[in-house]
Chain A
Amino acid sequence: MSTHKDIIPPVASKTKGSLHPINQIKSYIMDSLSNIGFEIIEGPEIETEEYNFDMLNIKKSHPARQMHDTFYVNKKSNVLRTHTSPVQIRGMLNKKPPFAFISGGKVYRKDDDATHLPMFHQIEGIYVHKNVSFANLKDLIYKIVYMLFGENTEIRFRPSYFPFTEPSAEVDILSENGKWLEILGCGIVNPIVLNNCKIDSNIYSGLAFGLGVERIAMLKYGVNDIRDFYKSNLDFLKQF
């Protein structure tokens, strides 16, 4: 027969909070890349057209620069950055090669539907050294994909187009249901971009990659509607 001396009061456990799932994925990727040698750099979300477009070989006539794709502020004197690439430009202007940078953060595009939002997160990386090749890029991409999706993941590289890389590629992974899913873009840094940043493209070459954090988070967590990440619903957020 138990007596009152044997009674152990219930545990008054504290409810744990959580980091936002997008920041968890972002931090995981950034920390992993940092561990293999990339330096984390940061830059502003309000950018000049010069850094956001011109220096990246995105010509004045490029559709991305139209008012229907890009948010302009301060009477068109600046833009809300449409990608994290201008951070790489700032990094390249400030340092001499060899270097390896990553930057992650919020970016803005004039979209709003179940798969696109006006604000989302990107992580981009760049590595510039002598004799950097597409074969090196593939090695890095395999490391990133394996880190995120496991070493049994089947990967496909497809030619693509970005003004700031040449050759350019998009990378797909094979899902469990047999469909190829696009997960990131990458390429060899266009020599025009290196020259814009006062880096001699006859001596140096570079590789670059970029991925959308929401895209990875949707795949990893099985979330179908990107808007769920930003409803601030505690039932949603507490799951992560």
Chain B
Amino acid sequence: MKISYKHLVSRIDEKPNIEELSNKLFQLGHEHEINGNVFDMELTPNRGDCLSVNGLLRDLNLFYSINNNLEIYKKELNEFNFNFVNHAKKDCPKISFLKIEIDSIPEKYNQEMESYFYDLNVKKNNFFTDISNYISYETGQPTHCYDMSEISEGVTLDYLKTKQNFNTLLDNKIELKAGVLAFINNKNEVINLAGIMGGSSTSCKKDTKSVLIECAYFNAEAIIGKSIQYALTSDAAHRFERGVDPNCHENILRRFLKIVEECTKINSIGVYTESYSEYKNNIVEFCEKKINKILGTNLSKKDCIIHLQNLGFKINESQIKIPSYRHDISSINDIAEEIARAIGYNNIDQKNLDLFSLEDKKINQNSSEFNLKNLLIDNGFSEIINNPFTSINNENSIEVDNPLDINRRFLRTDLKNSLLDNLLFNERRQKDSIKLFEISDIYSKSPTQKKRCIGIIISGRVDKNYKDFSKKLDINYLSNLINENILNIPNLNYETISRSSINSKSKNKIIYLEIEFSETFHCRYISNSKHVNKIDTTYKPISNFPSSIRDLSFSVKEFSNFKPLQDYMLNFNDEFLKDSYIFDYFFNEKNDEIKIGFRLVFQSIDSTITEDQVNKIIDIIITDTKKLSGISIPGLN
């Protein structure tokens, strides 16, 4: 919701600047951004009363002298006969209709209205609808304008007995379900989706001079969810869902009339009101000791009373009378929050909290799960987290009633397919040594059962160092790693996943293992490394472009230069060089010669790396390494 700084400050005697006002709004809990001279408010859903200039000023009254005396139409209002039937008195306990006929459509509006449309860049519509929109902005109360000539026969408020088509005033054609609350004309046609949006058949036009203004109170429960259900963007629904003031109707209609009067000549006025229950203000017992206990403060009773009075609360003996617009206040904790907002959350001194006075707490760390994780991390495995939604349905799958993606509407019953997707994703990105694991709870139905599992999947090279570079990950690798450390699970099921079933031509085997963390599960591995959670790593953006691999093999005959060669190659730095490692090493005693091979992986962050770019770097490396005596690149002159 957008509120102009100018409209707020024009009614504040102290005239704070926009930054000061912004700070006060934040102190009150009214989050916003400032765009030029406009506050773009993001109010919490419990503060429907603040969705207007008047609403924010009521809160700002804590800090400033506010002018609350908006001019209203003060003459007597005569009742008129209107054929209105209300079959929804519980959801609409109070409703008023105001009939106005004007002499002519004004060319220009009063200053406040013109300023509203200009400052907030709001598009004008027609005279009465424009006033209705302005009144909503100024006071928070939605009103709806019908062209009087279209509804002179009267209206009924009722729940639809059957589904019905409805054309909104924005020309959306929707089919309303049975049970929806709507205003209906004497032909049994829907003319207004109650509290949400009027219809095109009765809406005001540019030349409408006779109008019926509807000003109603709807219970939030009757409105919630309807605008989303019918994909309608409705300012009125937004307000009714958050609660409006049930006690404001006469004042709102008089304010409406005043604005009409300031813009044009009024020929006739009539008002019709139905109220089915008398509003009773909420009462909360006043107790400053409880307030101080909740907040941890030491405020005087007098201070509390002043803050509450500034917010419009009436204090009578030991009772607090809650204003009719404050639906969010019903307990002493709510009152404490009001006091805290008034003094500022940031101005409440902290008090030491010592939890050690409680009995000793044990860390609920599953040590076997912890040990297994360490075993995998020490051996180059990366942990994955997947969401549980899958297309695979088996007899034990739980189905999501309202999935985000209808094709993935089941909860997985194992981790295999998620991890297989992860593995293939990385293979497509030229990864040639893939070791992944995931630990997750898994749910199945009849009745809902939970088990905690680890899934492990591998494919490709064992590692990228020269000892493991040529070895391939297979069942032996995984079973040697796991069987040696896991006890009490006799029949681990190491599965080789068929490449043909996933349309993959790679010859690398895919091995999968899933283990349930049962009560008997035990992993005895104790890591020699200290695993510290890295929370201060700065992430470097990754490339989505293909990498380019070059291998450089050296013959070393001058052994004193063997170490400098390694240092040079492994520490060589270039923006395109992503990785370098020794993938081959052999000492030929017979020839007194070392053969060492380095693999260099190049990648650009923002484009596909070119042969030229790689060659330039390789040329630098060759030139530099040539300077080391006794070192050559076989095949290169």
Task: Give A residues with C-beta under 8 Å from B.
Answer: 1-4, 6-25, 27-28, 31, 34, 36-42, 44-46, 60-61, 63, 66-68, 71-76, 78, 80, 98-100, 110, 112, 117-119, 127, 129, 131, 133-140, 142-143, 148, 156-161, 166-170, 188, 190-192, 205, 207, 220-223, 229-240
Count of A-B residue pairs with CB < 8 Å: 295
Question: Is B435's CB within 8 Å of the partner chain A?
Answer: yes
Which residue in chain B gives the minimum CB-CB distance to A59?
A: B221
Shortest Cβ distance from residue B421 to the other chain A in the assembled complex, whole angstroms: 8
> Chain B contacts of A131 at CB under 8 A?
293
Q: What distance in Å separates the Cβ of A52 from its nearest Cβ neighbour in chain B?
A: 14
Bound Cα distance A11, B448 (Å) = 51
Q: How far is the CB of A159 from chain B (nearest CB, A)?
A: 3
Residues of B within 8 A of A127 (CB): 353, 355
Please, which residues of chain B bring their CB within 8 A of the CB of A67? 401-402
Interface of A is mostly: mixed
Q: Is the CB of B382 within 8 A of A135?
A: no
Question: B575 an interface residue at 8 Å Cβ cutoff?
Answer: no
Give the size of the chain B interface in residues (CB under 8 angstroms).
113
Q: B-side interface residues toward A, CB under 8 Å?
A: 26-29, 31, 44-47, 220-221, 224-225, 228, 241, 293-297, 328, 331, 333-334, 336-337, 340-341, 345-346, 348-356, 358, 361-364, 373, 376-389, 398-404, 411, 421-422, 425-426, 429, 431, 433-436, 441, 443, 445, 448, 450, 463-468, 529, 531, 533-540, 542-543, 558-560, 562-563, 566, 582, 585, 587, 589, 592, 594, 596
The 5 A-B residue pairs whose C-beta atoms are closest, nearest first, are A135-B296, A37-B355, A159-B29, A133-B296, A167-B337
Tell which of B354, B468, B533, B559 touches A19, judged by Cβ atoms closer than 8 Å: B533
Chain A residues near B533 (CB, 8 Å)? 19, 24-25, 27-28, 31
A-B contact sample (6 more), CB < 8 A, given A140-B353, A159-B44 = A17-B378, A61-B221, A118-B387, A161-B328, A221-B538, A232-B422
Query: Is A20's CB under 8 angstroms from B348's CB?
Result: no
A23 CB → nearest B CB, Å: 6
**Set A7, A31, A222: member contacting B562, Cβ < 8 A:** A7
Complex contact A73–B411 (CB within 8 A):
yes
User: In the complex, which residues of chain A have a beta carbon less than 8 angstroms from the beta carbon of B582?
Assistant: 10
How far in angstroms is the closest Cβ of chain A from B590?
11
Q: Which residues of chain A come closer than 8 Å to B535, judged between CB atoms?
A: 24-25, 28, 148, 220
A3-B557 Cα distance, complex, nearest whole Å: 10
Please state if B448 and A158 are interface contacts (CB–CB under 8 Å).
Answer: no
- Contact A78 B348, CB 8 Å, known A9-B587, A25-B533, A161-B44: no
Interchain nearest-CB distance for B599 vs A (Å): 13
Taking a contact as CB atoms under 8 Å apart, the answer to whether A39 and B345 are in contact is: no
Which residue in B373, B380, B538 is a CB contact (below 8 Å) of A222? B538
**Pairwise interchain contact A6-B559, C-beta atoms closer than 8 A:** yes
Q: Which residue of A lies closest to B439 (CB)?
A: A23
With contact pairs A12-B467, A161-B45 given, residues A235 and B539 touching in the complex (Cβ less than 8 Å):
no
Closest chain A residue, CB of each to CB of B581: A13
Known: A14-B465, A158-B29, A160-B44. A136 touches B380 (CB 8 A): no
In the complex formed, the residue of B with least CB distance to A98 is B358
Query: Which one of B337, B353, B383, B467 has the greatest number of beta carbons of chain A within 10 Å?
Result: B353
